[in-house]
Amino acid sequence: MSYYVVAAAPTAPPPPHTGGLLLLLNGTPGLLTVAALGIALLLFLIIKVRLQPFVALLAVSIAVGLLAGLSVTELFGTVQRSDAVSTIESGMGGILGHVAIIIGLGTMLGAILEVSGGAEVLATRLLALFGERRAPLAMGLTGLTFGIPVFFDVGIFVLAPLVYAAAKRGGKSILLYCLPLLAGLSMTHAFLPPHPGPVAAAGLLHVQLGWVILMGIVCGIPAVLAAWAFSAWIGQRIFVAVPQDMVEAAEEAKRAVVAEQRAQGVEPQERPVPLATVLAIIGTPLILILAATFSSIALDPSPGRSVLEFFGHPFVALTLALLLAYYLLGIRRGWSRKSLETVSTSSLKPVGNILLVVGAGGVFGAVLKASGVAQALSDTFHGVGLPVIVLAYLISLVLRVAQGSATVAIVTTAGIVAPLLSEGHHSQAFVALVIMAISAGSIFASHVNDGGFWMVAKYFGITERDTLRTWTVLESVLSVAGFAVAAAVSVLV
């Protein structure tokens, strides 16, 4: 059983259109010109005009479709036939039907872990287990584990106070403690579901999430080890003191969170959450999804395999993990059902922008395919002679450095490379590795056009110059190491 979305876009690229707005652009050269103009316009709208990425992607998709020869009816459908599905509708609906559920469930799961104190327990226990000398490793493992169910910025907000405390006790540069944590959070955000990037790419390229999880672990662990090594090296050479203003702000924020919990009817518990409980909740969906993926390979059709595939479907696995969190971290610890509903609902507010950007990326991919631009790009890239996994990485890297958003880089690149993959008979494992290459490219060289750059500088009191020397290089190490592993493994699958 395959867990991926099949969009309603045409299964084979049509020949170049003749009814477009610019008839001179017919043929491969014209379609390549349209593609180049479209990407240039996208970067211009996001970087210079500061247009919201969802609006920019949608506008560029429409412009590319019209310039490439799609008719208005093909793009938008027709009011005379309500059953006619337009390219924009099929692109948006096809990807969001798969991605929205996974991101929504994952977001609620992360919120329950955050509010219940699961992150603090995880970090505290690991710090106690590893001791003062290995505190940076404990922070790295905390980021790696807690980063699976929560967004990158939420992880920084929740875990930054623990970094301050560890750095004050150690009396060393805060970089020794924050960089390993950031590496763990960034790796999981880039390479592992249920984070938006890998989930969106899986939907656009039709890959089972089990393969994405497996290849995310295979590529992500060596990458984060390389990043930790860099953290230990640079942390000894650049001293950054613990930012006292942020320590005070963190204490105030913690009091505000407690007050908000009480307002929601959630009384903070004196008894800490068991570490085993936190790990079980985080690990449950990953194990179920992986079991379903490998049962489809190793087992013949049988009732047992059907059961594994049912519980390992991403929708079911994440729902079970969320219900487990509701009970173990909520109901059993005195939360009311109203409190659970309030925390879950409030957690969904920030994901609207992400879903719209992902949906617009689906539209962009559908327009490229329906208009023949994707086929023209595919033919051209084949002529370049570079392996598809290398092209995917380079395209994603350029888009990331140019406009700053990892999500935009991923969804745009996936739309461009999709025809390169659809032509060959590639295995799920290989396409999952291409997704890893795209994800790796999307985190390269975080700099001043990336919100994460300023978040890191602000929360940990690092100057802009030192943030470029530390965080920007750290992200590049993660990117290059992750891609190197993906390229090496792709030779074997």
Structural domain harbouring 308: 94-229+246-347
Write the DSSP assignment of 142-199 as a string of letters: HHHHHTTTS-HHHHHHHHHHHHHHHHHHHTS-THHHHHHHHHHHHHHHHHSTTSHHHH
Whether residue 50 lies inside any domain: the answer is: no
Looking at beta carbons, which pairs linking 396-400 to residues 24 or more positions away fall under 8 Å?
396/437, 396/438, 396/439, 396/440, 396/441, 396/442, 397/441, 397/442, 397/444, 397/445, 397/479, 398/441, 399/39, 399/43, 399/441, 399/442, 400/441, 400/442, 400/443, 400/444, 400/445
Whether residue 21 lies inside any domain: the answer is: no
Domain count, the chain: 1
Burial class of residue 279 (count of CB atoms within 10 Å of its CB; 0-12, 13-18, 19+): middle
Which pLDDT score is estimated for 123?
86
Residue with the larger pLDDT of the pair 464 and 251: 464
- Tell me the average pLDDT across 60-67: 90
The 10s digit of each residue's pLDDT in 294-336 is 898 888 889 999 999 999 999 999 999 999 999 998 888 888 8
b or e along 98-126 (b: 16 or more beta carbons within 10 Å of the residue's beta carbon)? bbbbbbbbbbbbbbbbbbbbbbbbbbbbb
Whether residue 239 lies inside any domain: the answer is: no
Which pLDDT score is estimated for 337?
84
Whether residue 124 lies inside any domain: the answer is: yes
Whether residue 282 lies inside any domain: the answer is: yes
Whether residue 407 lies inside any domain: the answer is: no
- Tell me the average pLDDT across 84-95: 81
C-alpha 489/C-alpha 218 separation (Å) is 9
Which pLDDT score is estimated for 4?
41
Average pLDDT across the chain, whole number: 85
The 10s digit of each residue's pLDDT in 402-413 is 888 898 899 989
Whether residue 309 lies inside any domain: the answer is: yes
Cβ neighbors of 115 (< 8 A, separation 6 or more) are 257, 261, 266, 343
Please count the residues of the chain: 493
Q: Is the pLDDT of residue 2 over 50?
A: no
What value, to the nearest 5°, has the Cα angle with vertex 132 and ends 129 and 134? Answer: 70
Band (pLDDT 50/70/90 cuts) for residue 228 is very high
Whether residue 425 lies inside any domain: the answer is: no
